[in-house]
Structure 1
Amino acid sequence: MEQLLLLAAVICFGAAVLKFAGSRFRAAERRDAAPAKNREPWRTVPIQEAAPLLAAENAVILDVRTQEEFDQGHLAGAVCLPVETLTDGDLTVLLPDKHAPLVVYCRTGHRSAEAAQILSELGYEDITDLAGGILAWDGETVTD
């Protein structure tokens, strides 16, 4: 009986050692692997760092909030294109150049992330999502 208990203890100890060694081996493989690419095909930047993007001559600034929200105040030069409408019809009529830089924002950053995903799936290549949305913006807004 003692030998059986001793054998069981040795087997348990061996299994623990193998499990520990395996997890350390997998961790070492992850450290040695190339860094993972950003899974999102667009970039997200804090809205406080957006000034150069917004000032770019060929950038298209998309406010993906509702028309009512847009009318209450938006970034200068922005075009209202609610996220709910991005899959309605042919977007290339409004945004023909799929290589042009697109800067998207909303109120807090949730809808703009959704919009960036949709735009990416539609083939647009240069998309920047402004994190934090217009609520994080400390600059001027317009109501034109």
Structure 2
Amino acid sequence: MDLSQNEWQQKLAADTNAVVLDVRTDEEYQNGIIPNAIHNDIYKGQGFIYRLDELDKTKNYYVYCMAGARSAQACSIMKQMGFENVYNLVGGIMNWEGEIVNP
């Protein structure tokens, strides 16, 4: 599900079962993350799938990338793998007005 910046941030703040997932490259990840994000680079192909398989499907996943395209793709893959609640950050971290921290 695509959420605007405000919707994503509000839903995340109120969610006690949330996991923030950063699907950018290692280099992008090192430049700053949304707090508490776990990293899984979508460009790693099968490695990306293996790491998704290790995640708890009962959690709610808030997924972001740089601009929103890779995270939308990641959400689609996650849905196909049986993840029920995945939320794509429209506009990605480049439009994020919330806190950004060093990983």
TM-score, L = length of structure 1: 0.64
Larger radius of gyration: 1
Q: 1:31-79: per-residue Cα shift (whole Å, max 9, x none)?
A: xxxxxxxxxxxx1011232222322222010010011111101100111
1:49 maps to 2:11: no
CA RMSD of superposed structures (Å): 1.6
Higher relative contact order by CA 8 Å / sep ≥ 6: 1 or 2? 2
Give the letter for the 2:7 counterpart: E
Gap regions ≥5 residues in structure 2: none
Distance 1:131 1:71 in 2: 21
Q: 1:102-125: per-residue Cα shift (whole Å, max 9, x none)?
A: 110100000001101111111111
Per the alignment, residue 69 of structure 2 pairs with: 110
Equivalent of 1:82, from 26, 41, 51?
Answer: 41
**Aligned length in residues:** 100
Equivalent of 1:92, from 48, 53, 76?
Answer: 53
Per the alignment, residue 58 of structure 1 pairs with: 17
Distance 1:132 1:62 in 2: 15
Distance 1:49 1:134 in 2: 14
Per the alignment, residue 136 of structure 1 pairs with: 95
Q: Which has the higher helix share?
A: 1
Q: Which has the higher strand share?
A: 2
Q: 1:2-44: per-residue Cα shift (whole Å, max 9, x none)?
A: xxxxxxxxxxxxxxxxxxxxxxxxxxxxxxxxxxxxxxxxx10
TM-score, L = length of structure 2: 0.86
Work out whether residues 48 and 137 of structure 1, in 8 Å CA contact, stay in contact via their aligned partners in 2: no
Distance 2:51 2:32 in 1: 27
Q: After TM superposition, what 4+ stretches of structure 1 lie above 4 angstroms from structure 2?
A: none
